[in-house]
Amino acid sequence: MEKHLFNHTNGKSLSEVNNSIEVPKRAGFWKLLWAYTGPGALVAVGYMDPGNWATSITGGQSFHYELMSTILISSLMAMLLQYMAAKLGIVTQTDLAQAIRMRTGRPLGIVLWIITELAIMATDIAEVIGAAIALNLLFNIPMVPAVVITVFDVLVLLLLTKVGFRKIEAIVSCLILVILIVFAYEVALARVNWQQAFVGLLPTSKIIQRSPVIGGISPLTGSLGIIGATVMPHNLYLHSAISQTRKTNHNDLNAIRQTVKFTTIDSNIQLTLAFIVNALLLIMGAAVFKVGAVKDSSFFGLYHALNNTQMLTNPILAGVARSGILSTLFAVALLASGQNSTITGTLTGQVIMEGYIHLKMPLWARRLLTRGLSVIPVLLCVAFTVNGSVAQQHFALNMLMEHSQVFLAFALPFSVLPLLIMTNNKAEMGEFKNKPIWQILGWGSALILTFLNLYNLPATFVSFNFMPVAIAKLIAYIVIALISFLLLWTCIEIYLGDRKIKLNHTGFEAKEEQIIKNEEKEG
């Protein structure tokens, strides 16, 4: 039992589970893959939470199959960045937050911690909205009590922490399959234009245009929302920590190579499933409902549309809808999706708090803190629209969720750029340094994402409708200048920190040389 709510810590990442899971020796490929399977599922959860539902379904409703390529590109980016994050954790035995903090001063460390905490809260807002709406739809619980009830998912967390980390991985994997099956079933009943869907996988300039604006979003805003909901900063921190749960002999290069290899395969398999789920969500938005039939694209509107036979595209869907199965399955999957992220969001919060400011909290307290802060904007949104129409309330919640996902895209460079600098450094990573092709793709992705986010920021601030257009744009340009300054500051400190590691021979390259010398002596 913790004696205090806050305790100082500067040890191994997630010390309770670090290096705790046995891996069989001299086993075949499939047995080894099974042993390493699990961390990828916890990471993939973040790629199919309610925030992804909002951005993907809304994208399908508004622009049909045009944003399929955005989902594909963001999924490929995610695979590349998650590979780098996992590799960083395995090779350096530090998570991303620890690695950044080792190279930066305390002031910048605190700033980056605050930015990452806000990103986690933005993710949690989507989970609060999704879970609360699911409770409302399934059990007719009013929205305010439903939002408050989501705070008590800490009880689920407490239960899961008692069953062991390997079982948590299995539970999460099963819930992912449930979500996949639900949407595969609903899309299978629809008349999907598969030719257009596959053509939509080819990128065009349409996905970054500022017009047309449909349902409050443009193709660019929709793309950034999808990217923000897919390539999320907290997943990079999480993966760099939980990739260290398998027992690895760090004095054996072959053991490290094996862990990196199978962890990468696990990650790519799980993220492929996440891509399929997000593609199904967009296809559902485009093909399950008649064009222009759904005026309310919020979760409420989609739930009721799945009960309305006049809005569905074919008689088979309409026949199943009469039984209520389509809408019920939708709400169940929504609830499962929100709850599925409980453990991962809490673990990530612990990782960044311990890594950046060296403070440790009990998981239940950490969850209550994050969720308690996240419900505030949701309750305010509900309160401000209580006198409006039902459609206005639904639209407000949907826009809150959309904009929370866009914020994640702004926070992303503060984790991606340090990750790239560190994993591109031979002194830090040795033979596990990123290959030139991954460096080019990594930097290309990071620079494109950063540019598009800053380019769209004025339009995003204007879309909030909280202030006059001129003031909104002025604030946006001030924020752009601040973000640019913080990114430059971060990159400079990370670069200088890496130079010290090289000069002091404290990175993995020096250790690698010693391991090779020891192997030659023993040989």
Q: Count CB neighbours of 416 within 10 A.
A: 24
Highest mean pLDDT, choosing among 59-73, 244-258, 384-398: 244-258
Residue 397's domain is classified under what CATH number? 1.20.1740.10
Any domain includes 55: yes
Any domain includes 4: no
Determine the average pLDDT of the residues in 232-260: 90
Number of domains in the chain: 1
> Which residues are registered as beta bridge partners of 214?
217
Cα distance between residue 35 and residue 22, in whole Å: 8
Is it the case that residue 37 has pLDDT exceeding 80? yes
CA distances from 63 to 55, 120, 215, 304, 436 (A): 11, 28, 10, 21, 36
| Predicted local distance difference test score (pLDDT) of residue 406 | 64
Give residue 380's Cα distance to chain centre.
24
13 three-state secondary structure: coil
Residue 451's pLDDT band (cuts 50, 70, 90):
confident
- Percentage of residues of the chain with pLDDT beyond 90: 20
Cα distance between residue 91 and residue 515, in whole Å: 13
| Predicted local distance difference test score (pLDDT) of residue 6 | 52
Is it the case that residue 130 has pLDDT exceeding 50? yes
| Predicted local distance difference test score (pLDDT) of residue 436 | 93
Comparing C-alpha atoms, which of 206, 231, 222 is closest to residue 446?
231
| Predicted local distance difference test score (pLDDT) of residue 294 | 66
pTM: 0.87
Any domain includes 13: no
Cα distance between residue 275 and residue 64, in whole Å: 17
Q: Chain-wide mean pLDDT for the chain?
A: 82
**Which of 100 and 448 is assigned the larger pLDDT?**
100
**Per-residue 3-state assignment (H helix, E strand, C coil) for 45-72:** HCCCCHHHHHHHHHHHHHHCCCCHHHHH
Highest mean pLDDT, choosing among 114-123, 227-236, 422-431: 422-431
CB half-sphere exposure, 191, CA atoms < 13 A: 10
Comparing C-alpha atoms, which of 43, 425, 429, 104 is closest to residue 268?
43
| Predicted local distance difference test score (pLDDT) of residue 261 | 95
Determine the average pLDDT of the residues in 245-266: 92
Q: Which residue's entry shows tokens 């998650």?
A: 82
Comparing C-alpha atoms, which of 273, 274, 275, 297 is closest to residue 286?
297
Any domain includes 15: no
Q: Which of 150-159, 192-201, 252-261 has the weakest average pLDDT?
A: 150-159
Q: Which range marks the domain in which residue 406 is found?
A: 20-382+392-522
Any domain includes 34: yes
In terms of Cβ atoms closer than 10 Å to its own Cβ (0-12, 13-18, 19+), residue 267 is buried
Cα distance between residue 438 and residue 460, in whole Å: 31
Any domain includes 402: yes
Q: Which residue's entry shows tokens 């021979």?
A: 505
**Which of 147 and 231 is assigned the larger pLDDT?**
147
| Predicted local distance difference test score (pLDDT) of residue 36 | 92
Q: Using omega within 30 degrees of 0 as the cis cutoff, is the peptide bond preceding 107 cis?
A: no
Sign, CA dihedral 195-201-205-211, equals positive
Any domain includes 300: yes
Any domain includes 290: yes
| Predicted local distance difference test score (pLDDT) of residue 44 | 86
| Predicted local distance difference test score (pLDDT) of residue 158 | 60
Q: Contact, 198 vs 342, CB < 8 A?
A: no
Residue-wise pLDDT for 83-115, tens only, equals 999 999 999 999 999 999 989 888 998 999 998
Determine the average pLDDT of the residues in 415-429: 92
Cα distance between residue 328 and residue 297, in whole Å: 17
| Predicted local distance difference test score (pLDDT) of residue 1 | 39
Q: How many helices (H) and strands (E) does the chain have?
A: 24, 2
Instruction: Please state whether beta strands 7-8 and 359-360 pair in parallel, antiparallel, or not at all (unpaired).
Output: antiparallel
- Length of the chain, in residues: 523
